[in-house]
Amino acid sequence: MSRYKISFHEVSFGYPGAEHKAIDSIDFTLPEGRTYALVGPSGDGKTTIARLIPRFWDADSGQVTIGGIDVKDIAPEELMRNISFVFQNTRLFKTTLQENVCYGHPTASQEDVEAALEMAQCRELVDRLPNRLNTRIGIDGTYLSGGEQQRIALARAILKDAPVVVLDEATASLDVENETKIQAGISELIRDKTVLIIAHRMRTVANAEKIVVLDNGRVLEHGSPDHLKSTNGAFAHTIERQMQPTP
């Protein structure tokens, strides 16, 4: 059995007080070492699916498994050790930049820390801070923009080098130029990993081996990017819309 294969078995979940389920009967398997992408309109359950993997929430029904084991039966510290995630609304800890980057790998060498920062295009950012990696972030310290925080979170994930990677709009706060710059870092992060990517920009998910398209919390269609383009369905229409010039 693949140790890091992720499966959703008829998973449903609704947020407390919500009138409708965020996801309903989600069923798909992400094989170990493969890259899948979730796409669909905002509010259609993509982030919910991503957050059920590390158990930020637990499914109301069905099972989320890693390596065939229900995530509810995996110790929280083991889940955190084996999963790296970069979310759109990344928030750094109110401590030094060094400690933020090393959070998932506190025993990392300084050489590895510097390499991770380089891959995440953080060198210029670090160099302009008053105390470089010893600069404190947040209260009584330096505040970073959303895009800068995402780059630091990416460096943290690269350094951690966990076997499972979840990227939820990981470049959403970056402009196209900066997103292009950190693609090498993302490529390094996801190499030989089990990867789930969520993104609205189709260029971000173009290299995924399989696309799972959601609509109203359900799987609408799924397949390789080329297959979905050829079927002229929801995925193909989304690409067509994004290729149209802005008025």
pLDDT (tens place) for every residue of the chain, 247 residues total: 479 999 999 999 999 998 899 999 999 999 999 999 998 888 889 999 999 999 999 999 999 999 999 999 999 999 999 999 888 777 788 899 999 999 889 999 999 999 999 988 888 889 988 889 999 887 666 778 877 888 888 899 999 999 999 998 876 666 676 677 677 778 878 889 999 999 776 667 777 899 999 988 999 899 988 888 888 777 777 766 765 655 5
pLDDT value at residue 173: 63
pLDDT value at residue 141: 61
pLDDT value at residue 1: 46
Smallest Cα–Cα separation from 178: which of 134, 137, 136, 145? 145
Structural domain harbouring 142: 6-243
Q: Is 218 exposed, middle or buried (0-12, 13-18, 19+ CB in 10 A)?
A: middle
Domain total for the chain?
1
User: Tokens 């889940």 correspond to what residue?
Assistant: 79
Q: What is the CATH number of the domain that holds 80?
A: 3.40.50.300
pLDDT value at residue 161: 92
**Inside any domain, residue 1:** no
Smallest Cα–Cα separation from 198: which of 150, 165, 231? 165
Q: Cβ–Cβ contacts within 10 Å for residue 67, how many?
A: 17
Is the dihedral angle over the CA atoms 49, 53, 58, 61 positive or is it negative?
A: positive
pLDDT value at residue 242: 64
**Separation CA 202–CA 199 (nearest Å):** 7
